[in-house]
Amino acid sequence: MKKVVSVSLGPSSKDYKFETRFLGQEFQVRRVGTDDDEGKAWEMLRRYQSEADAIGLGMIRDHYDIGSRRQVHRETERLLKVVTRVPATTGADLRRLLQVRAVRYVQRKLVNYFDNNLVLFLSGMVNFDMALAMSDYTPNLKFADAVLDTGAPAILTSLDQLEIYARGAQFASSLLPTQKLSKFPGLSTLRREIITREMAKCHVIVGTFDDIAALGKPENLEGKTLITSAIDDDRLEFFRECNVNLVVDVSPNLFDRVVGLSTIQAMILAALDTTSEELSDNDLEEIVDELRIEPRLLYPTGEFRNIRRFAFVVHPLSQEYIRKGFPVPKGTPKFVMDQVEKVAAHMPPMVYCKMDNIISPTGAEAEGWLISVGGTPKEMLSRSPEFTYRRLLAAAKMAEKMGAQILGLGAFTKVVGDAGVTVARRATIPVTTGNSYSASGALWAAADAMRRMNLVRTDESGKVQAKTMVIGASGSIGSVSARLLAMAFDEVYLAGRTLKKLEALKKSILEETPEAKVVATVDYEQYLGDMDMIVTSTSGAGKKILDITKVKPGCVITDVARPLDLPPEEVAKRPDVLVIESGEIELPSDVNMKDIGLPKNVIYACLAETIVLALEGRFEVFTIGRDTEWQKVKEIYKLGLKHGMKLAAISGVNGVFSDEDIARVVQLAREARKTWKPGGSRSAKRGAKAAARKKTARKKVSVARKPSASKKASGRKTSPKKTAAKKSRGKTSAARKKKAART
């Protein structure tokens, strides 16, 4: 039977002795605690080496490698040299291996768990290999070595700084070989304040139980993830009282009781009858694989909250939004507001608010920040795209420092320049524009509105027997909307400014949906009167893009653009047309956030895409550029349903549409269609007015418009020459108007 003794500087009250089978051999394992007495530890090592096959030295500082340098702890070296007859180890080699494997394991099992986490190492030098592994997933690494060892009020913030500090610490220890630098008097209170403040801000804490327990409190450990080792029931109870979210114990649970890694490595040395110097990393890897050693994931509170983090960029849409966000007097003159608008465009990004308590039915959670940049669409359009890129990249850097794992671009920021491609390429965290969910939400809302209005029918194959138009079809949201509508509607009209782009889109749509009827046009106003549904998705920044008076009564117009393509004064002209804003999304839980101009728990679809990706743990560049993939539109729609996203109540420029509001629009539309003649604004106006008046009033109007009897009786005739001249002038005028419209 192999015998292994573990001499620990920890408390003797936790001593144990047991027998077990390990690596095909019988073992007797004994622990001897020395209550932090190095002299007693020296004596125990000297005594037990004569009766043990291997000795483990626990609760002591390890030797470690930082970069290409080997750091040797002198007190540990002195104690290890006492053991001359049998192999002795601190477990450093096994600990280093299992720490790295633990990081990889958690990242894989919990799906991108460490991405852009804020991580604090209480000792970066001891855990250097783990820090290297963690740096593959997050740049937000901090190290408390300088504070705890020297009392210097500075947290190290990079691996380079840690290496520089380690070289200095090694040099200092050579000058003071017998004194521990962490024992300098007069700085303990300052050190504690600095460390506890950093612990409260971070997401993950790495350290021994003793270090964490000495500095941790319920207020700075609540909701945290801890990476440590050798956690028994008593230690787990402490973490439960502190409401710790997750404990990653790198020590495997191989026996009936928890044993330290120094003990396990000593057992490996005894089983292989070798020394630490002869035991290679490959040997340890093979043994770990053979034993199927995995880290223990412990949940002290009994439940695990996997909270993902996001950030989303917003900006003022007009001067009115600037007035709401800043204390600008109401009577401020226009020329002063113009200057304020220009100054706001140069302001650095700032956090508008934090969103939290976003809980999916799957149990996933998310929280995030709305980050505001100051430029209005007018200011962004008046400057080069690089001007906006730099502000968005500054927002991305801010988001990264706060721990956001994905960044969404909202409103006009997602269409500036190349629609997010440059920002995604330069940013250090994934970026999405939200256009996939914006397109999905727009069509979702339009379909719901048409269903509630019930003015069109569907054939046996499920295709809607109606005509639809997408204005701004060559844009990112417009193009994917057109693709999906071509699969569902009888006819689709692609409208825009560049016929070449529209024809290319038409060709692509017909390749995907050969049976579709698709028309590409830049002179689209002539078709407005035939449309049953219109989607407007332009980047005109407030420019008029359609004449609503020419639209068919009962048409559903979905306005996806921000700022809106149809302002309230335009919508008011047609009470017989349903103009809805792009489909907003209702969140699955009661969320804490500031007002964004929508009902409680309702958000824009582009923001919803960012949140859905965060809940799913999909930290990737999902939607960028102007060619949104319709497959991603369907994918984000399904993911949204999975995480409890719902279509919010249909709303327009004046708020939410009730069933009574929609019924009123339908009634007016049915009345207007009785006299509706497509093809001109005069007909549309006449139809809208006729729908709003009573039948008696319409009769009076129609009678008043009839030619008088005196005119009929006059019997005046126009000569054939004059009639021909008038017709000629009319044709010339029509040709000129048509040419001007094309220009």
Q: Which domains does the chain have, with CATH numbers?
A: 308-436+588-647 (no CATH), 442-584+650-660 (3.40.50.720)
* Phi, psi for residue 359 in degrees, rounded to 5: -120, 125
Distance from C-alpha of 35 to C-alpha of 33, rounded to nearest angstrom: 6
- Mean pLDDT, range 529-554, rounded to an integer: 84
Q: Please report which confidence band the pLDDT of residue 545 belongs to, taking 50, 70 and 90 as the band edges.
A: confident
pLDDT per residue as tens digits for the range 79-130: 989 999 999 999 989 999 999 999 999 999 999 999 999 999 999 988 999 9
pLDDT per residue as tens digits for the range 632-674: 988 999 999 999 999 998 888 887 888 899 999 999 999 999 9
Identify the three-state secondary structure at position 578.
Answer: strand
583 burial class (0-12, 13-18, 19+ CB within 10 angstroms)? buried
**Total-model pTM:** 0.80
DSSP string, 13-56: GG--EEEEEETTEEEEEEEEE-TT-HHHHHHHHHHHTTT-SEEE
Asked whether 351 and 449 are in contact (CB, 8 A), the reply is no
| DSSP strand pairing (246-249 vs 296-298) | antiparallel
Q: Please report which confidence band the pLDDT of residue 729 belongs to, taking 50, 70 and 90 as the band edges.
A: low
Identify the three-state secondary structure at position 129.
Answer: helix
Examine the pLDDT at 591 and tell me if it is beyond 60: yes
| DSSP strand pairing (119-121 vs 204-206) | parallel
Asked whether 320 and 341 are in contact (CB, 8 A), the reply is no
Of residues 560 and 436, which shows the higher confidence score? 436
| % of the chain exceeding 70 in pLDDT | 86
Asked whether 435 and 459 are in contact (CB, 8 A), the reply is no
Examine the pLDDT at 631 and tell me if it is beyond 50: yes
Asked whether 279 and 269 are in contact (CB, 8 A), the reply is yes
Assign 3-class secondary structure to 516-574.
Answer: CCEEEECCHHHHHHHCCEEEECCCCCCCCCCCHHHCCCCCEEEECCCCCCCCHHHHCCC
- Mean pLDDT, range 279-304, rounded to an integer: 93
Lowest mean per-residue pLDDT among 397-401, 623-627, 703-707: 703-707
Distance from C-alpha of 501 to C-alpha of 478, rounded to nearest angstrom: 12
Distance from C-alpha of 585 to C-alpha of 442, rounded to nearest angstrom: 10
Average pLDDT, the chain: 86
Q: Residue 692: in which H helix or E strand, if any?
A: helix 681-692
Lowest mean per-residue pLDDT among 7-21, 420-434, 452-466, 493-507: 452-466
Structure tokens at 34: 């020395």
Asked whether 445 and 647 are in contact (CB, 8 A), the reply is yes
- Mean pLDDT, range 330-334, rounded to an integer: 83
Q: Please report which confidence band the pLDDT of residue 70 belongs to, taking 50, 70 and 90 as the band edges.
A: low
Examine the pLDDT at 430 and tell me if it is beyond 90: yes
Structure tokens at 313: 């960029």
Residues 6+ apart with CB under 8 A from 277: none
| C-alpha dihedral sign at 644, 650, 653, 658 | negative
The most confident of 326-330, 376-380, 665-669, by mean pLDDT = 665-669
Nearest to 312 by CA among 641, 619, 608, 646: 608
Examine the pLDDT at 574 and tell me if it is beyond 60: yes
The 8-class DSSP code of residue 458 comes to B
Structure tokens at 390: 């730099």
pLDDT per residue as tens digits for the range 11-54: 999 999 999 999 999 999 999 999 989 999 999 999 999 999 99
| Residue-level pLDDT at 30 | 96
Strands (E) in 204-334, as ranges, are: 204-206, 225-228, 246-249, 296-298, 307-314
| Residue-level pLDDT at 684 | 44
Nearest to 495 by CA among 533, 451, 458: 533
Nearest to 609 by CA among 597, 596, 618, 601: 618
Paired residues of 624 in beta bridges: none
Asked whether 556 and 580 are in contact (CB, 8 A), the reply is yes
* Phi, psi for residue 324 in degrees, rounded to 5: -70, -35
Distance from C-alpha of 381 to C-alpha of 517, rounded to nearest angstrom: 35
Nearest to 556 by CA among 602, 489, 498, 502: 489
Q: Please report which confidence band the pLDDT of residue 693 belongs to, taking 50, 70 and 90 as the band edges.
A: low
Identify the three-state secondary structure at position 434.
Answer: coil
| Residue-level pLDDT at 539 | 64
